[in-house]
Amino acid sequence: MSIRDMLSQAVEDYLKAIFVLQSGSSVSTSVLASRLQVSSASVTKMIKRLSGLGLVTYVSYKGVRLTEAGEKIALEIIRHHRLLETYLRDIMGYDWDKMHEEAEHLEHHISEEFENHLDRMLGYPTHDPHGHPIPSREGVMITVESEPLPDCPDNTLLRIRRVADSNTSVLQQLEDLGLLPGTSLQISNKESDMMKIILATDDTQIHLTNDLAAHVFASKEDDQ
């Protein structure tokens, strides 16, 4: 039996949250509490448990980081989640909010065999519907550097790499406009609070507020 077989869903949620938040530095308990919508006392208690299992390191007033063992488990859960979102969205046609909610539940319960079958059926995708990289079975993620559209250059062929996934109403607006990962476009004009973009597929012109555009991350079309 592996250590992951002995972990609760709450433990896996903590490990996944720490991975997403740490981004090269330790995560404060207050930030982690906010992310998971739990009390600071609950976070402190769980961090002590995770530390005892060898899954995190914690230093008072400096925060918590995953160990190699903790990171391995977090990447496995993230892989499950993003494969499931891809299946729910692309095959079953789930809405953005239902897709995430369902994947949040299922990610804790699928077997390695199911994961491998799902991966193969989907054609071994490297990114989920939001454009986030899907970790490989070995824990490797393929990433492409990208910037919010307001920071991207004008009159340059761009490709949308990912969209922010924290607000389902924003995602729906972007979908209605055809501004999802994989879409190619050019920014033809920028103003103080608005920009005009042209879709490469059919020269459709879209006027987009900078606030909405900030949820779209792109880079030059030829960037790998």
| Dist CA 165 CA 80 (whole Å) | 17
Q: What is the pLDDT of residue 1?
A: 46
| Dist CA 112 CA 186 (whole Å) | 42
CATH code: domain 3-66 is 1.10.10.10
**Dihedrals phi, psi of 202, to nearest 5 degrees:** -140, 15
Q: What is the pLDDT of residues 137-189, one digit of tens each?
A: 999 988 889 999 999 999 999 999 999 987 889 999 999 999 999 999 999 98
Q: What is the pLDDT of residue 162?
A: 95
pLDDT under 70: residue ranges of the chain = 1-6, 223-224
Common-topology check for domains 75-143 and 147-220:
no
**In Å, how far are 47, 101, 102, 114, 173 from 98, measured between CA atoms?**
30, 5, 6, 21, 16
- Listed by start position, the domains of the chain span 3-66, 75-143, 147-220
- At position 133, the amino acid (one-letter code) is P
The CATH architecture one would assign to domain 147-220 is Roll (2.30)
Rounded to 5°, the CA angle 37-41-42 comes to: 55
Q: What is the pLDDT of residue 8?
A: 86
Of the candidates 67, 23, 19, 63, the residue with the CA atom closest to the CA atom of residue 44: 63
Written out in words, the top-level CATH class of the domain with range 75-143 is: mainly alpha
